[in-house]
Amino acid sequence: MFHREGRVIILSTFFGVAAIVLAAHFFIIDPTIKLVVQVVSLVVLILILQFFRNPKRIANKNFDEIHAPVDGKVVVIERVKETEYFKDERQQVSIFMSPINVHVTRYPASGLIKYSKYHPGKYLVAWHPKASEENERTSVVIRTPKFGDILYRQIAGAMARRIVNYAEEGESVQQGEDSGFIKFGSRVDLFLPLDARIAVKLNQKVKGAITCIASVKEENEEG
């Protein structure tokens, strides 16, 4: 199953590869060069197909948990001041996606979209400290029953040149549902309340709609 954002690229690549393979078969005499051209073309098609794959994920919807919005590796867990929407301190969890990861963005929690904004910007490498504020990005705030407002931010990287965001203000969304796509390597930042219990560690690999990023702090943990 492939993501709808990849349809045009997949079809264009398929027909382009088919044309190259046929042209190589009929017009390249040297068998070694012919084989190399055909194999490289097929590898490109396979890479495009795997990049736009959209595996079916059945989320165990839970108001007490924030789930990973994307596949990737946790590269930041820290307390920061979020300056765009909250303008106060939050817990930031950042997930870096390499080109081989699934790049579908999924809603990390169920709730109501209170804010959704696109920001044009630079294309610094995704792990750069200033990428969250200076790169092309979208910021989405979901009002949840247990965590209050949470924010997730799709951030373009040095290779990513298009962010797709489906979230619209006033819309009710469900945890794990498709919320967008980022093309060719990037990261997603989550900004969570200070009292949320972080459930992941640095360098941990996570799966969108599956891995619990944070949970509601239990009463016996208060104080």
- Each residue's pLDDT expressed in tens, for the chain with a length of 223 residues: 777 777 888 899 999 999 999 999 999 999 999 999 999 999 999 888 877 788 888 878 899 999 999 999 999 999 999 999 999 999 999 999 887 888 899 999 999 999 999 998 776 665 566 666 777 889 999 999 999 999 999 988 665 557 889 999 999 999 999 999 887 668 899 999 999 999 999 999 999 999 999 999 765 455 4
pLDDT at 220: 44
Residue 93 lies in a domain: yes
Burial class of 115 by CB neighbour count within 10 A (0 to 12, 13 to 18, 19+):
middle
Residues 114 and 14 in one domain: no
CATH number for the domain that contains residue 201: 2.70.70
- Model pTM? 0.82
What span, in angstroms and rounded, lies between the C-alpha atoms of 47 and 43? Answer: 6
Residues 85 and 22 in one domain: no
pLDDT at 223: 47
Assess contact for 154 and 167: CB atoms under 8 A.
no
**Active-site residue, from 98, 179, 186, 215:** 186
Q: Is 173 helix (H, G, I), strand (E, B) or coil?
A: strand
186 is a catalytic site residue:
yes
Residue 59 lies in a domain: no
pLDDT at 147: 97
Assess contact for 45 and 13: CB atoms under 8 A.
yes
Residue 56 lies in a domain: no
CB atoms closer than 10 angstroms to residue 7: 11
Domain count within the chain: 2
Residues 23 and 69 in one domain: no
Domain coverage including residue 145: 65-216
Residues 93 and 159 in one domain: yes
Residues 97 and 165 in one domain: yes
